[in-house]
Amino acid sequence: MSIYRFGANLAMTASLPRYNFRAKESVKIGVLAPLTGDAATWGRPGFEGCRIWADWVNADGGLKIGGQRWAVEIVAYDDQYDPARAVHGAKQLVLEHGVKIILMLGGDTVPVIADFLTRSRTLATTLLPSDLSPDIPYLIAPCEVHPIYVVTGIDWLAENRPELRTASLCAQKDAFGLPSLATYRAAFESSGIKILKEVLYTGAPDDPEAIVASMLSAKPDILCWDTAYEPFVHALTEAAYRQGFRGQIVSCTCDNYRALVARTSREFMEGFIFHFPDFDDPALGKLDIDFPRPNEFYAEFNRRFPGEWSSVSWAYCAILEMWRNAVEQIQTVEPAVVLSAMKMGGSSRNAFGEAQWWGRELFGVDNALVGSWPVVRIIEGRARIIELRSILSWWDRHGQLLLRHMRACGQMWDQRL
């Protein structure tokens, strides 16, 4: 069986002569995400990436279905990461606009719309596979697999910085922070790194100075910010700088890291580990990457939306290109059929290469497309991919450890149900 190479169609059409085919009909794609509020840096840039993808597809004539060209139209709803708004938004997108797929950030907004997604047989995607469960069969995580990819950074540190033996960790008590807390606990334990201090907070960290001071009181080699919103990562990092910490910092994300470099120093940020590269990274041209035209996409994004690039700027675009390929292969946009096509054979390719549909042991259903993920390190003021590491290889060695910590944090799918 041939495995689709993600982005091949878009890359090929970009190199062909462009003819002015006018699409007679349109297919609507929904974005249900926080476009304002604390979580907006994980929602708004994803929507902006969708707009670039739609413009590229429509410039190439649109989707090719049944001998006809179909334009794509992005319809967004700002849920502000509010469950009540998410319910209204999901119903509006499906019942009023007739969208064929909904792209979501995921998290605390998912449980309240799960029943509607299932009853309406709406294909939906999340960036948090911890949202997945058998009772939401049309919800998939085909791109980002938060938080299980964070194990790759700790695994890399254990091999390359063996002198780092202790850590302090803080986490926000929500659908982003708690599964990430469990995963970091498992990653540190599997690497023989002892967690000396944990600080949990609800909502915004009102006093980042106090949180960091508490973490530093244990004298750790590593500070870990878990999965925190961009304003929290910045506040905690700057507090660590002011309090004189000069050791290793680890975080799931570090959006707008250049502002942190400017407000602290290159020396302080050197070696900061996280998991989301800039798409002009030279490594993207050398590794087994399957994102269409990453350098051009990055340049276009920054031209149209300066200062907005974040960890999700490319993610929804990556999902849509996979969806587009399935639609054009099976010549329909009907959600259940498209889902079957996307999962056919149990393996595919995501943005970072070969991957397989996986997750039954952890999420109760094989609806997460899991493969390798980047370990990103700040080097001389720039984020650079230092390695792609296999998540499933780590799971084969330490899966039971992760299951134990997920259950201890109440984050297994059966506990959430």
The helix/strand count (H/E) of the chain reads as 16, 15
Per-position pLDDT tens, the chain of length 417 = 333 333 434 433 333 333 344 556 899 999 999 999 988 989 999 999 999 999 999 999 999 998 899 999 999 999 999 999 999 999 999 999 999 999 999 999 999 999 999 999 999 999 999 899 999 999 999 999 999 999 999 999 999 999 999 999 999 999 999 999 999 999 999 999 999 999 999 877 779 999 999 999 999 999 999 999 999 999 999 999 999 999 999 999 999 999 999 999 999 999 999 999 999 999 988 877 778 889 999 999 999 999 999 999 999 999 999 999 999 999 999 999 999 999 999 999 888 989 999 999 999 999 999 999 999 999 999 999 999 999 999 999 999 999 999 999 999 999 876
Q: For domain 8-144+288-310+312-371, give its CATH number from 3.90.1150.10, 3.40.50.300, 3.40.50.2300, 3.90.79.10.
A: 3.40.50.2300
Do the first three CATH levels of 8-144+288-310+312-371 and 148-276+380-416 match, i.e. the same topology? Answer: yes
Q: Is the distance from CB of 349 to CB of 6 less than 8 angstroms?
A: yes
The verdict on domain 148-276+380-416 having CATH code 3.40.50.300 is: no
Cα 248 to Cα 148, 240, 260, distances in angstroms: 20, 11, 15
Cα 77 to Cα 37, 85, 99, 376, distances in angstroms: 14, 9, 12, 31
State the pairing for strand pair 368-379/273-274. antiparallel
How many angstroms separate the CA atoms of 131 and 403, rounded? 15
- The model carries a pTM of 0.90
> Domain map of the chain by residue range?
8-144+288-310+312-371, 148-276+380-416
Q: What is the share, in percent, of the chain residues with pLDDT greater than 90?
A: 86
How many angstroms separate the CA atoms of 301 and 298, rounded? 5
How many angstroms separate the CA atoms of 80 and 308, rounded? 17
Residue 3: its pLDDT value, please? 37
Q: Can you state the angle between helices 208-216 and 230-242, rounded to 10 degrees?
A: 60
Q: And the tokens for 120?
A: 């309406």
- Largest Cα span, the chain: 67
Instruction: Kindly state the DSSP code that residue 17 receives in the 8-state scheme.
Output: P
